[in-house]
Amino acid sequence: MSDITGQCLCGAVRYRVAHAEPGFGACHCRMCQRWSGGPFFATSAEGVVFEGEGDLVRYPSSAWAERGFCGKCGTNLYYRALQSASYEMCVGTFDDTGQFVLTSEIFIDRKPDGYRFAGDHPRLTEAETIEKYKDYTG
């Protein structure tokens, strides 16, 4: 998908992405649970350009990554590994969310027992996730 737009709840921070994957993932790690109040639903996006940068807060959530949110309304917008040019954009912030499909879950051994997502897609444990992304975490 190319040239798609999104924004925070109040509209102070808008964005346009040159390319976003149609598949999105659910992260169940404790950090994402605390940040989003549940699973973090995100899709990989490249060529992200923000408008309203003065209201965009970048929080260094670890030595290798940052999370971005609106400083006015608090909407979570993205997660980004500092070594990567791509962003993991929050699916719910896109103007058209109907084009996205759940394709993977990570940290499944950290998710609460109270919910399950349907569908046949990869489900990685914490150890499997860390192994897969070790080049980004130092």
**126 CA to centre of own chain:** 17
Ordered by start, the domain boundaries in the chain are 2-132
pLDDT digits (tens, 9 = 90+) for 75-100: 999 999 999 889 999 999 999 999 99
Distances, alpha carbon 61 to alpha carbons 1, 30, 73, 75, 79, in Å: 28, 12, 19, 16, 9
Give me 131's structure tokens: 């192994």
How confident is the model at residue 19, as a pLDDT? 96
Query: Looking at per-residue confidence, does 130 or 40 come out higher?
Result: 40
Mean pLDDT, residues 103-114: 92
Q: 133-136 — which CB contacts under 8 Å span 24+ positions?
A: 133/81, 135/83, 136/64, 136/65, 136/81, 136/83, 136/84
Considering the domain 2-132, what is its CATH architecture?
Answer: Beta Complex (2.170)
Residue 129 pLDDT greater than 90, yes or no: no
Mean pLDDT, residues 97-106: 94
How confident is the model at residue 11, as a pLDDT? 98
Tokens 């670890």 found at: 62
